[in-house]
Structure 1
């Protein structure tokens, strides 16, 4: 999942963000909306990447503490 997040960010503009659902969809191999079951694993992968200093998690365009983030989040490269 971490690889999917980093690859998606690499293909976008340096300031672009992605949603965890983008990563979940990228790794899901089935049809339909089964990717939804991968949303929490995608969020956990994003938190691991934050801990590794590779990405930031944002809400409303502002960096947030991943442990305190509630609701929709976005993932972006470190600026």
Structure 2
């Protein structure tokens, strides 16, 4: 399941283009258009894991969020070239 979510995250981000972000809902719908709501927790967990590895940035209000401590609405984007792996220094 997480491999499908991870692949979908990176596919959507590649399609979106540099500097653009995607929502967790877009990812979940990309994996399962009918049962996407039940995947939102899995998307969050996968996103946190990727952010810990420095492969993804979780944003809130357009700014990098701490993957260990964020709440509410968030978006996903690729790290900027030259940014810190955590993405929290921006």
Length-normalised TM-score, structure 2: 0.79
Match of 2:65 in 1: 64
Distance 2:30 2:63 in 1: 25
Number of aligned residue pairs: give it. 76
1:1-79 to 2 correspondences below 5 Å: 1-28=5-32, 31=34, 34-79=35-80
Superposition RMSD on alpha carbons, in Å?
1.0
In the TM superposition, what is the alpha-carbon distance from 1:41 to its structure 2 partner? 0.3
Q: Gaps spanning 5+ residues in structure 2: where?
A: 81-90
Q: Gaps spanning 5+ residues in structure 1: where?
A: none
Deviation sequence 1:22-58 (CA, Å, 0-9, x none): 11000105x3xx2111001001111111122111000
In the TM superposition, what is the alpha-carbon distance from 1:67 to its structure 2 partner? 1.6
Task: After the TM superposition, list the runs of 4 or more consecutive aligned residues in structure 1 that deviate by more than 6 angstroms.
Answer: none
Which structure ranks higher in relative contact order (CA pairs < 8 Å, sequence separation ≥ 6)?
1
Q: Is the 8 A contact 2:52 2:67 kept in 1?
A: no
Secondary structure of residue in 1 paired with 2:70: coil
Task: Say which structure is richer in strand.
Answer: 1
